Amino acid sequence: MNIFLTWDSSGIGKFVYEKLSKEYNVFWVSRTGQYKFDLAKKEEIEKLTDKFKDNQFDVLILNAWMWYFWKFKDGNIETYGKIINLNLFANIELLQKLNYTEKVKIIFIWSIISKKFMKWATVYQASKFGLRGFAWWLKQEWYRVHIINPKIVDTNFHPQNMNLSQFPQTKLEDIYQVIENIIDWKEKRFEIDL
């Protein structure tokens, strides 16, 4: 089974890659991962899809994204464009161009933030809401689309001065277990909140 995985190079991505690669043929794409591509750049997506044009994937796990926390007026349009491009449009382009079987399972790893409102994350949340809508409509065409929404995960992603204990948390193993259950046909829900 061939699995295409976009994720960061540490934390959740590294954990999921290491677990999946024991059992499956995993192609891990990130800026510093197994296959080094920056999905925030359109030309990199072109190179990536060209590189894998002869690979047929059975599972696509998509989780490339960026975020910033600040008041909406304190940001700039270039950064907002990058957020929307990576968090939403890069996923659309990858799904349009990658080669996969008719029985492909598409797994979006997002965040509980795609269902809740949070201060200081206006454009980031807009991109998450947009992708959630895209995934829902995609499910109307393919029946094997899933969204996993973890809460805060204790990784090096969050600022060091952020007190994570005040937030509900999701364990790395729980995220992996849901992915494994989707792959094994044990989990069939469209949206799974962790």
pLDDT at 120: 67
Neighbours of 70 (CB within 10 A): 12
Query: Residue 98 is which amino acid?
Result: L
How long a stretch of residues is the chain?
Answer: 194
At 173 the three-state DSSP class reads: helix
* pLDDT category of residue 52 using cuts at 50, 70 and 90: very high
CATH number where 55 lies: 3.40.50.720
Q: Which domain holds residue 103?
A: 2-193
Q: By CB neighbour count within 10 A (0-12 exposed, 13-18 middle, 19+ buried), where does 128 fall?
A: buried
* pLDDT category of residue 163 using cuts at 50, 70 and 90: low
What DSSP state is assigned to residue 87? Answer: I
Q: What is the pLDDT of residues 20-38, one digit of tens each?
A: 999 999 999 988 778 998 8
Neighbours of 13 (CB within 10 A): 23
pLDDT at 177: 96
pTM recorded for the entire structure: 0.86
pLDDT at 5: 94
Task: Give the chain's domain count.
Answer: 1
The mean per-residue pLDDT over the stretch 36-41 comes to: 86
Q: What is the pLDDT of residues 77-103, one digit of tens each?
A: 888 888 888 888 999 999 999 999 889
Cα–Cα distances in Å, from 34 out to 7, 13, 18, 105? 11, 11, 11, 21
Instruction: State CA 48 to chain mean position distance.
Output: 16
Phi, then psi, of 38 in degrees rounded to 5: -100, 100
What DSSP state is assigned to residue 49? Answer: H
Higher pLDDT, 179 or 68: 179
Are the beta carbons of 39 and 86 closer than 8 angstroms? yes
Cα–Cα distances in Å, from 49 out to 1, 46, 63, 91, 150? 19, 5, 16, 12, 28
Q: Which residues contact 142 (CB under 8 A, 6 or more apart)?
A: 104, 106
